[in-house]
Amino acid sequence: MKSQTRQSVWNQIINGCQSWMGSLSEGGLKQELLTLVHGNIATANRLINGEKRQHPNHTEKWYLEKVIYDLQRGR
């Protein structure tokens, strides 16, 4: 029973990561962002959503690039 529960949790984690990674064109940027936030998807989403509130009407790629740029510069 425990192995089934662990497998279920593991599948949920994998599915969450795959859905977050999204399209291939943005996949590299999302992977770079995840690397910068040490794999913390919640933090990555929080940063992107903050930029969306501050700078509406941009593309998803723009938000990813902005968050990555800010993180690399210690902002």
> CA 75, CA 69: separation in Å to the nearest integer?
9
Phi, psi angle pair for 49, to nearest 5°: -65, -35
Using a cut of 0.85, tell me whether the model's pTM lies above it: no
Question: How many Cβ atoms from other residues are within 10 Å of residue 24's Cβ?
Answer: 7
Phi, psi of 68 (to 5 degrees): -60, -45
Q: What is the pLDDT along the chain (75 residues), one digit of tens a residue?
A: 566 677 777 777 766 666 655 555 577 899 999 999 999 999 999 999 999 999 999 999 999 999 999 999 987
**Host domain of residue 35:** 2-72
How long a stretch of residues is the chain? Answer: 75
Look at the chain and report how many structural domains it folds into. 1
Give the pLDDT confidence score for residue 26 in this predicted structure: 75
Q: Is 26 exposed, middle or buried (0-12, 13-18, 19+ CB in 10 A)?
A: middle
So what's the pLDDT on residue 23?
Answer: 55
